């Protein structure tokens, strides 16, 4: 009996010593990694993987060894092994999600962040990074919710406050955005960027006085940043000056910059010219639903003008406004049909283009709306343009969606086929890339 107890005791001591050694591999590997000694860290993590039996420790060693690997292929292989050996380890999914996030593969990062948070809801960084990934999608509340969760877990998480301020701005919730900029500045009082962005938030809210004060303060903190001085000069622009500058921006920069600039002038938000610029910029950005909202607002404005003219007894002006209504209805219909095809909207536009404007029967079939083919061609070109911008920014999911839209509009679009082939190659879908390249070559040969 005594021998047996001694044997058990000896085994326990040996096991404890082995686990202590196994943990030392992980500890030393982390120390080398922190010191950026990658080859030494790789050796320690490799020993950990080979000599450790505890699956959670092995999983973490695989995940951390990925940081030392020279290529993305090897990094991903290690991260996949980290998940495989410990499928209930939330950290493993987090590390792989972070890899996809850094590689700008949002569609792959999101499910791993979801799984990581499901298994380990105490990881503030997982919530923080998922909020950034969710920023690529339409739901503006989800990033706010994730950042709130991150702050709850880690109240001194300064970056989470400023990111939530940006998220609130995107959702046009300016008061909580300002509160978060204030909180961030408690942690980082020398951040000129936060002061500047708070000023821009005041401007979006319509408080020009506070906006100017913050932007001046940002200039005092960093006098050599041209956008700060330009923003201060822009605060008191007239509507005509805003229209002119937006037109200049549209010729030099992408449509997102035009929308960002116009959003700084809430006092002109309902003006017909501003609505038109916003609708065009949204079309160029491939945001057809948003474009239609602004087209609808334009139409409503024209229609109210026509009613006012009728009430004033000015029939000539009323007829002029009716003609404008018809043209706007045509453009809106094309947006609905080509961009996202809402049956309800199509029916309402049919009513607008016939009953309200008293158009002749020959024009009552929306399929005969003047310029439909031109609109369709314009949307195809816009989709290709937007897709190329997305591809340049490595937003492959968005690029693929826009190239698909262009090909849906025109299956013989050589530019769209060639562009989609590039996306497929980046996604590793070589067969699909070759098929699109072959179609594009065939179109060239036929010409």
pLDDT less than 50: residues of the chain:
1-22, 310, 318, 322-323, 325-326, 329-372
Place of tokens 């070559």: 441
> Residue 178's Cα: distance from chain center in Å?
22
What is the maximal distance between C-alpha atoms in the chain?
A: 114
* Structure confidence at residue 362 (pLDDT): 36
pLDDT of residue 360: 37
Query: What is the pTM for the complete model shown?
Result: 0.58
Cβ 369 vs Cβ 407: under 8 Å: no
For residue 86, what pLDDT is reported?
A: 93
Q: What distance in Å separates the CA atoms of residue 364 and residue 349, rounded to the nearest whole number?
A: 10
Report the first-to-last Cα separation within the chain, whole angstroms: 94
CA proximity to 90, closest of 65, 127, 53, 43 = 127
| Average pLDDT of the chain to the nearest whole number | 78
Q: What are phi and psi of 286, to 5 degrees?
A: 80, 15
Asked if 144 and 168 count as a contact pair (C-beta separation under 8 A), the reply is yes
Return the structure tokens found at 418. 């060639």
Whole-number pLDDT of residue 342 = 39
Q: Tell me, what's the pLDDT at 304?
A: 59
């Amino acid at each position: 009996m005594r021998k047996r107890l001694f044997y058990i005791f000896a085994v326990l001591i040996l096991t404890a010593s082995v686990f202590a050694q196994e943990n030392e591999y992980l500890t030393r590997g982390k120390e080398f990694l922190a010191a950026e000694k990658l080859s030494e860290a790789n050796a320690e993590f490799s020993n950990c993987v080979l000599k450790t039996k505890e699956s959670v420790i092995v999983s973490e060693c695989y995940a951390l060894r990925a940081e030392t690997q020279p290529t993305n292929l090897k990094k991903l292989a290690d991260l996949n092994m980290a998940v495989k050996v410990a499928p209930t380890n939330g950290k493993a999914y987090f590390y792989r999600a972070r890899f996809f996030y850094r590689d700008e593969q949002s569609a792959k990062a999101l499910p791993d962040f979801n799984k990581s948070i499901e298994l380990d809801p105490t990881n503030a960084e997982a919530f923080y990074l998922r909020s950034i990934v969710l920023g690529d999608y339409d739901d503006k509340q989800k990033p706010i919710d994730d950042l709130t969760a991150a702050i709850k877990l880690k109240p001194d998480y300064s970056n989470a406050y400023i990111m939530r301020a940006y998220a609130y701005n995107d959702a046009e919730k300016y008061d909580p955005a300002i509160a978060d900029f204030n909180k961030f500045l408690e942690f980082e009082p020398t951040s000129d960027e936060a002061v500047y962005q708070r000023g821009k938030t005041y401007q979006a809210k319509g408080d020009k006085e506070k906006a100017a004060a913050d932007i001046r303060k940002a200039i005092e903190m960093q006098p050599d940043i041209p956008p700060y001085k330009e923003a201060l000069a822009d605060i008191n622009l007239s509507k005509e000056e805003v229209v002119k500058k937006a037109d200049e921006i549209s010729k030099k920069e992408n449509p997102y910059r035009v929308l960002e600039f116009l959003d700084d002038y809430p006092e002109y938000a309902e003006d017909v010219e501003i609505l038109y610029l916003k609708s065009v910029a949204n079309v160029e950005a491939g945001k057809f639903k948003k474009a239609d909202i602004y087209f609808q607002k334009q139409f409503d404005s024209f229609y109210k003008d026509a009613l006012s003219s009728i009430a004033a007894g000015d029939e000539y002006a009323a007829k002029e406004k009716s003609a404008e209504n018809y043209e706007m209805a045509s453009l809106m219909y094309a947006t609905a049909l080509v961009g996202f095809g809402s049956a309800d909207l199509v029916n309402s536009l049919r009513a607008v283009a016939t009953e309200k404007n008293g158009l002749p029967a020959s024009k009552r079939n929306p399929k005969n709306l003047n310029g439909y083919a031109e609109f369709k061609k314009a949307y195809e070109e816009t989709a290709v343009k937007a897709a190329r911008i997305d591809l340049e920014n490595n937003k492959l999911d968005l690029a693929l969606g826009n190239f698909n839209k262009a090909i849906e509009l025109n299956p013989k679009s050589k530019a769209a086929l060639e562009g989609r082939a590039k996306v497929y190659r980046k996604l590793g879908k070589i067969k699909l890339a070759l098929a699109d390249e072959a179609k594009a070559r065939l179109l060239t040969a036929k010409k």
